[in-house]
């Protein structure tokens, strides 16, 4: 079996040959010709096998909304490698979390606070709760969905909440100290 990496230039440009290889290993797209890295059929076949294959696709495909939507519908992992502008596209994020809940990590801040997207993500993968906005982490339905999917989901939230509370306690102590220093300064003047 010839690997695409070791294939001749002619083979790396042969669509049928490359399709066969990327259907076995999506990462083989890295060694395809530039022309085939722009071929929608070839790239989607690679993404179907591995969402991370999108990183090897031609830049115009990674920036093409319609194409990226198709890609994340096949494999939510592809979201990591699309253009950053598309990470703020609600339809793309929703499609991605339907196949890979933790794709939420690549969503823009606004979309991490979108209840439908968040519920879809945690229902697919309870661990994605760690990428949810703090507001929705307090939502009982969101928490219940995360725990129903993965009983360990609360462990992540409890740890994050404890860390946030510790940081808040530290800042409150600093704030009190600053307040006392200002009072003392005013008394001295």
Residue pLDDT, tens place only, 117-131: 999 999 999 999 999
151 part of a folded domain: yes
Both 185 and 118 in one domain: the answer is yes
> How many CB atoms within 10 Å of residue 111?
22
pLDDT given for residue 184 in this prediction: 45
Both 50 and 100 in one domain: the answer is no
72 part of a folded domain: no
Number of continuous H segments (helices) and E segments (strands) in the chain: 11, 0
Question: Three-state DSSP class for 38?
Answer: coil
Could you list the residue range(s) of the whole structural domain that residue 10 is in? 1-62
103 part of a folded domain: yes
pLDDT given for residue 153 in this prediction: 81
Both 91 and 145 in one domain: the answer is yes
Both 162 and 91 in one domain: the answer is yes
Both 169 and 122 in one domain: the answer is yes
Both 87 and 31 in one domain: the answer is no
68 part of a folded domain: no
Task: Report pLDDT digits (tens) over 59-105.
Answer: 999 999 999 999 999 999 999 999 999 999 999 999 999 999 999 99
Report how far residue 67's alpha carbon sits from residue 71's, in angstroms, rounded to the nearest whole number.
6
Both 84 and 42 in one domain: the answer is no
pLDDT at 36 over 80: yes
Q: Distances from the Cα of 159 to the Cαs of 14, 99, 130, 131, 151, in angstroms?
A: 52, 26, 10, 13, 15
22 part of a folded domain: yes
Task: Report pLDDT digits (tens) over 137-163.
Answer: 889 999 999 999 988 887 755 554 545
Higher pLDDT, residue 180 or 101:
101
pLDDT at 44 over 50: yes
CA 74, 80, 83, 88 dihedral sign is positive
Number of domains into which the chain is organized: 2
For the chain, give the mean pLDDT.
86
Both 105 and 171 in one domain: the answer is yes
Instruction: Say what the pTM is.
Output: 0.78
87 part of a folded domain: yes
Both 88 and 9 in one domain: the answer is no
């Amino acid at each position: 079996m010839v690997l695409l990496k070791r294939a001749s230039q002619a083979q790396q440009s042969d669509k049928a040959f490359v399709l066969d290889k990327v259907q076995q290993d999506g990462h083989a797209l890295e060694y395809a010709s530039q022309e085939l890295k722009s071929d929608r059929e070839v790239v989607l076949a690679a993404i179907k096998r591995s969402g991370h294959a999108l990183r090897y696709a031609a830049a115009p495909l990674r920036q093409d909304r319609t194409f990226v939507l198709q890609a994340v519908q096949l494999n939510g992992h592809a979201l990591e490698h699309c253009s950053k502008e598309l990470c703020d596209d609600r339809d793309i994020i929703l499609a991605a979390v339907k196949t890979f809940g933790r794709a939420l990590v690549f969503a823009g801040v606004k979309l991490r606070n979108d209840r439908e997207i968040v519920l879809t993500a945690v229902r697919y993968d309870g661990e994605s709760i760690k990428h949810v906005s703090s507001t929705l982490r307090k939502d009982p339905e969101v928490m219940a969905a995360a725990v129903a999917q993965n009983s360990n989901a609360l462990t992540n939230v409890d740890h994050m909440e404890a860390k946030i509370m510790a940081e808040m306690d530290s800042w409150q102590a600093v704030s009190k100290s600053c307040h006392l220093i200002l009072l003392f300064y005013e008394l001295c003047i």
